[in-house]
Amino acid sequence: MSTTDYNSLDFSSLVAISGDEIVTHSFVRDVPLSAGRTLALVTLDNGRDHTRPNTLGPVTLLEFAATMEKLTTRAGRGEIHGVAVTGKPFILAAGADLSKVAEIPSLEAGKLLSQLGHHALGKLDTLGVPSFVFINGLALGGGLEIGLNAGYRTVDAAVPAIALPEVFLGLIPGWGGSYLLPNLIGIENALKVIIENPLKNNRTLTGADALELGIADVMFDSARFLEDSIAWADGVIAGSTKVSRPNAPGKIERLVKWDVAVGIARKMLVNRIGEVATSPYVALDLLQAAKSGSRAEGFQREDDALAGLIAGDQLQASIYAFNLVQKRAKRPAGAPDKKLARPITKVGVIGAGLMASQFALLFVRRLRVPVVITDLDQARVDKGVAYIHDEIAALQTKNRISPDEANRLRALVTGTTDRSLFSDADWVIEAVFEEIGVKQSVFAEIEKFISPETILATNTSSLSVEEIGSKLAHPERLLGFHFFNPVAVMPLIEVVNTPQTDEITLATAMVIAGKLRKNAVITRDTPGFVVNRVLAKLLGEAMHAVDTGTPFEIVEAAVAPFGLPMTPFELLELVGLTVGAHVLDTHHAAFPDRFFESDNLHKLAEHGKILERDAKGRRTGFDRGALKIVAGGTTPMTAEQILQRVEDGLVDEIKRMLDDDVVHAAEDIDLCMILGAGWPFQMGGITPYLDRVGASERVFGDTFHTPPIRGIGVQLPAVTRS
């Protein structure tokens, strides 16, 4: 295979589309080493403070390449004896500048972006003198790949995050990472960094992790990181410091372990995320191929792979989703001025069951104010408090909180059946039985004890918040505050704004959601709000297909192209079949012509399960009893029919929600589905997917997004599918 001469390429077309790039400059200063030698120290600095990390755009990369060429010349003249690259304070570099990826006009231009990275960073390998990267701070994606292209790496013990998050974004490490990393730290470690971690909520590495994995050769404390790094480089250049790399793959690893490890990772991947998302599999192929061949060949494979991904739909949807989560989630649409929010100095929780106790725990941990819980009788209250105390103890055992903090939290949590102890609470949330009469009466009762300004929040998932408040003297201080299960983990809260809810109440809820470290989306008080209404559509259609006689397998296969984290039946079991049936009933009651209810689902709930599972809980098939229950449908559908019904149904429902202003924009629907239901980045939540498969066009003759969020339409070249 002939390899690319990167020096012969013309990158001017990339520069043309990066007019507003914030350039990260490559500054060079000479540093004296021992024995009269000199180290050229390159600092990457975009001239902004640490809140605007260095990024690597085309102009930046070309400047870096030119700098390296000058240093190569100087090295040839014997003026310098080593080159080291480091970053501005706290930051090495946060990776490629992705803001322009949506504007990449062609497959060739996409490929050029990868080639430019190889062109620039690859020069660290051809300086003629040893090259070092001192990882002084944040090093993500291309930022870390600068280091991988160098001969040696030091790392600061205080670095907050080191990662190759590309797969999380629908990309692959395409500036050398996919080839260099497994050849530096071994295939298993590389799989962990490139594939596993990005899919585990984008987990990052610390300096100590990087050292242990073998990404860094040595670690120094931050106080003298640069001085120590320079001294260490001096030793390496002088030959007095020897570098050993125990994790670097040897012959046996390449012959025996490599393919096996990739095979295991592939199985794990299929199990965990299915086969719809492209980039993890492309990364897997690249890692597998990195077993043999030259660096130049590896780089060329990355060029082709990255070009294909940049041209595809999933990357564009992923970047859209990433921006939603990073930006829109932090500035919720329709949120009133934060200054209106009332301070919360005490929280009351009505109910002492599991959900209520989880709320109490979350509120006390995050707000650190007194939290009082109540229930029908002292026994229930005591049980709730005991649960919370146990959870606090567990946090302490896991060293998540100190003994002092545990004492503080325990002292803040009290339980009572005396409602008068709620009188000085600023915020009262209920988590009682999901029935309108019950919720109305607990609020009516508590209102006798609390001030007219105390904010009331209901965790209802299916009832009308306005109706819950209809018997209140002060309904303006009520809103919905809908958590997702498990409360501690799921990052979304739907804040439900009724026609009566006032601005102060809404502002306070948004601030409280932030303090609970949740993302809040404001919705109108309509059935199911956002997440449950969209899920009810999907699950209703799935059960309807079953009810008409379609086998479970066909239904699952039909919606497989979505690439959802779980099938409809897995999801039903996760939320509980009884809850699932209730959700379908509620939506059917609200919108009888559009949402299906399912008798079968009630029967399945009574039966207890749909899936057959082994002792470890892994699914092995469908439960025989369940199969018997749903037998008898007479008009089965094909997978194609189901897929179209689901897609079109979702388009129709989401369009109605937007027309009805349940939330302000399609972006908010997508944000809710990503954060509340774990729908994947590659779908962009849901609306980019519906646009790109043509469903939006079919249903309402237009698209949710203009222009639609999709690639330039070239499929992945076969060359990467080795």
Which residues here bind other proteins, judged by CB under 8 A? 27-29, 31-32, 41-43, 45, 47, 86, 89, 221, 223-224, 226-227, 230-231
In terms of CB distance, is 31 or 355 closer to other proteins?
Answer: 31
Least distance to other proteins, CB of residue 90, Å: 12
397 φ, ψ (degrees, to nearest 5): -60, -35
Q: Cβ distance 134 to 169 under 8 Å?
A: no
Give the SS3 label for residue 116.
Answer: helix
Least distance to other proteins, CB of residue 223, Å: 6
Q: Rg (Cα) of the chain, in Å, rounded? A: 29
Question: Which amino acid belongs to residue 97?
Answer: D
In terms of CB distance, is 45 or 467 closer to other proteins?
Answer: 45
Give the SS3 label for residue 40.
Answer: strand
Least distance to other proteins, CB of residue 26, Å: 8
In terms of CB distance, is 15 or 231 closer to other proteins?
Answer: 231
568 φ, ψ (degrees, to nearest 5): -55, -40
Quote helix, strand, coil % in the chain, to nearest 5: 55, 15, 35
- Record the tokens describing residue 1, joined without a space: 């295979």
DSSP 343: P
Least distance to other proteins, CB of residue 159, Å: 16
End-to-end CA distance of the chain, in Å?
14
Of 154, 135, 343, 171, the C-alpha closest to 234 is 154
In terms of CB distance, is 61 or 230 closer to other proteins?
Answer: 230
Least distance to other proteins, CB of residue 139, Å: 16
Question: Which amino acid belongs to residue 234?
Answer: D
Least distance to other proteins, CB of residue 362, Å: 32
Q: What is the DSSP string of 681-721?
A: GGGTSSHHHHHHTTHHHHHHSS-SSSS-S---SPPPPGGG-
DSSP 103: G
Least distance to other proteins, CB of residue 83, Å: 13
Least distance to other proteins, CB of residue 21, Å: 19
- The CA distance from 417 to 420, in Å, is 9
In terms of CB distance, is 43 or 720 closer to other proteins?
Answer: 43
Number of H helices, E strands in the chain: 30, 19
Least distance to other proteins, CB of residue 137, Å: 12
Of 349, 353, 506, 514, the C-alpha closest to 425 is 349
- The CA distance from 600 to 548, in Å, is 10
In terms of CB distance, is 40 or 75 closer to other proteins?
Answer: 40
- Strand order across the 162-163 sheet: 91-93, 138-140, 162-163
Q: Cβ distance 131 to 125 under 8 Å?
A: yes
Mention every residue, 6+ apart, whose C-beta is less than 8 A from residue 201: none
In terms of CB distance, is 223 or 264 closer to other proteins?
Answer: 223
Q: Which residue has the tokens 């599972």?
A: 613
3 φ, ψ (degrees, to nearest 5): -110, 165
In terms of CB distance, is 222 or 440 closer to other proteins?
Answer: 222
Least distance to other proteins, CB of residue 41, Å: 6
Least distance to other proteins, CB of residue 228, Å: 9
Least distance to other proteins, CB of residue 65, Å: 17
Least distance to other proteins, CB of residue 130, Å: 17
Decide the pairing of beta strands 478-483 and 455-458.
parallel
In terms of CB distance, is 88 or 365 closer to other proteins?
Answer: 88
In terms of CB distance, is 43 or 374 closer to other proteins?
Answer: 43
- Record the tokens describing residue 363, joined without a space: 């509120």
Helices (H), 456-516: 465-468, 503-515
In terms of CB distance, is 226 or 507 closer to other proteins?
Answer: 226
Of 18, 20, 84, 89, the C-alpha closest to 48 is 89
In terms of CB distance, is 90 or 449 closer to other proteins?
Answer: 90
Give the SS3 label for residue 436.
Answer: helix
In terms of CB distance, is 26 or 278 closer to other proteins?
Answer: 26
Least distance to other proteins, CB of residue 129, Å: 17
In terms of CB distance, is 52 or 613 closer to other proteins?
Answer: 52
Element housing 457 (H / E): strand 455-458
